[in-house]
Structure 1
């Protein structure tokens, strides 16, 4: 990939027969990784991660064009065109997410300015995402991920690999690490330094964290992090609503988008109030950029699920992706007196015999609670979003009924 002024140079794309399903899966995986990398680049002031975002953004542009060409070739009748509209919407929304992630990365690359408070509010339990190139003398070079057994030993996992201009988005046990590979690592802060040094041969430079001293700024930063978490969740939920043709999940995506809009309004007010007390108000520009990009991501999630809401139906190409899925996401409402009413949830795992993992809870009084961020107790009236096998989902639904 050629680079000019830090950004990839556009390449010419020619039509070639493409499996639309495979492209959609790749676009989905790329969009999710883009969100992850972009926010990590901002939170940790990491220009290397920000540069990788621009590489992935260029890759997404190529995927979008290939998908559009394939969809245009597939439309041979009005009925085909009607069914392909939601597929085109998914493609367009993934590109929206890609562009928003690129805008977030440019906050770091262009030194637009961000308050140090951004890093101070990162929870200690939050996993860290870093990248590093495999050195020639690394003990990991030439070995498979199964052989290294990294996650079991350190808690750190390889979420993606860039090999020259190619990407491996979901590396598996048989994936072999090569010298020069750029590994993207996610795991607890305590496990990162040793793994990073083993991979790169260099010591890990742990970022320093300052404490915010402006109350309105702290509120603004906490709000933008909540918006980020909700937007990421909305994208996951939107793809699931399409893959499983679930109007209930699609409605929840719309609910989240409304909540993100409301949060953005409060976020902008607190940011402007903080500017009056900040010693360098220009450093808050990046926060405004971040808020706008985050809101765009939640809008894209709505676009992904729009075909489900409009009851256009699921195109066969999406149905094929469903058939390959090992897990499903389900939405249930807890009835008073049911087995789930009063059950505790620790790290997403409910105290039941059913092996479902709860991702989030929507509570009438509190809005969305992302369970991965905190333990919780389930109450009647809660709407639960959970992930697991189809069999487990059926049993989980039964537990919600009194």
Structure 2
């Protein structure tokens, strides 16, 4: 958490540029905070703290820009969603900072947090660049291996957060990547390395708790993406989904905290685990704060419309209204998109397996990157 004295100085920066920058920083801060917990990496945790300070400054500047931009009370009302968006992103990076602070203080990270990495489909891996990766650009890793992002690059004692796509890897660089487990395995195989995850042996109870932590993390990311989308596009249906996720998170996080306290002996491990759970809940609360703006009839200011129009992705809420004889993977291929989560029988399943069959009554949150695709009659866009 940033406790430094607040210094605000106006400088002309486009509001939409600030909002896009803050959104990118929120995403990278969460990735880095979770990685720093799993690998107890104080250097990365320190960078999360720096991002928190940076987002604080960006939010203060955003508030000033909005004050200057508002021409009258009616215009100020239209800009209110932009202020709420900035506040929510500031709160989200504060939550990531809370997690990173436990690492900086040297508190012991419990095995269940490490196990959460081992069982989730999206994993974090640290690599030292050898000859087979030298000269490859950051963007080429994604082009070759699919869902892989370089979140941190260390070179010559300097840490580069979210390195530009055109940066070429050099011998001895240390990179932290986040990606789909199978895509990461493919990369590791090509460079003659094996995927190594924390080696502790976990009990069934620890695996269960770890699965629930991983579920909360995934649902937090989905809620945040969905909330930003609902606000920018004033989509009340998407906003309602965020509120449903928050209700699930509130109930599950309370149960999970009690389970952790009951089954953890060391006080430091209890503290670190509960900070993680509460930080994820705080981020979901921030998402809810944004989504609530989409449930109120409020004309969107042209600035926010520009942010939405320049965005490369949209999130669709789909309902399977009858049997489809189709899998999640086939839906993703048809729509050129990614299924963020499915909802069936009161249960949210984030990042569903491609082989999962679509069933009547199932709800699908689908991220698409082009024009809204056409769907068969068995699927409706809500």
State the TM-score bracket (shorter-chain normalisation): 0.7 to 0.9
Higher mean C-alpha deviation, range 375-384 or range 20-29: 375-384
Distance 2:121 2:332 in 1: 23
SS in 1 for 2:374: helix
The residue aligned with 1:82 is 77
**1:38 positional shift:** 0.9
The residue aligned with 1:343 is 326
The residue aligned with 1:3 is none
Is contact 2:127-2:175 (8 Å) kept? yes
Matched, 1:383 2:363: yes
The residue aligned with 1:200 is none
Higher mean C-alpha deviation, range 120-129 or range 285-294: 120-129
The residue aligned with 2:124 is 129
Matched, 1:210 2:200: yes
> How large is the Cα RMSD of the aligned pairs?
3.7
Higher mean C-alpha deviation, range 232-241 or range 318-327: 318-327
**1:395 positional shift:** 0.5
Matched, 1:158 2:138: no
The residue aligned with 1:369 is 349
Q: In the alignment, which of 239, 242, 251 is matched to residue 228 of structure 2?
A: 239
Distance 1:352 1:120, change over 3 A: closer
Per-residue CA distance 1:294-344 (angstroms, 9 max, x = gap) = 11000000112221111223221110012212332111222125xxx3421
Distance 1:68 1:309 in 2: 23
The residue aligned with 1:117 is 112
The residue aligned with 2:341 is 360
**1:181 positional shift:** 8.4
Distance 2:362 2:82 in 1: 32
Is contact 1:253-1:305 (8 Å) kept? yes
Distance 1:219 1:345 in 2: 25
Distance 1:343 1:352, change over 3 A: farther
Aligned length: 376
Q: In the alignment, which of 243, 249, 259 is matched to residue 260 of structure 1?
A: 249
Higher mean C-alpha deviation, range 103-112 or range 251-260: 103-112
The residue aligned with 2:259 is 270
Q: In the alignment, which of 349, 374, 382 is matched to residue 395 of structure 1?
A: 374
Distance 1:184 1:321, change over 3 A: farther
The residue aligned with 1:324 is 310
Unpaired runs of 5+ in structure 1? 1-5, 198-202
The residue aligned with 1:45 is 40
Distance 1:371 1:178, change over 3 A: closer
The residue aligned with 2:283 is 297
Matched, 1:35 2:16: no
**1:36 positional shift:** 1.1
Per-residue CA distance 1:235-267 (angstroms, 9 max, x = gap) = 011111122221100000000000000101110
Distance 1:151 1:113, change over 3 A: same
Distance 1:366 1:103 in 2: 31
Distance 1:398 1:356, change over 3 A: farther
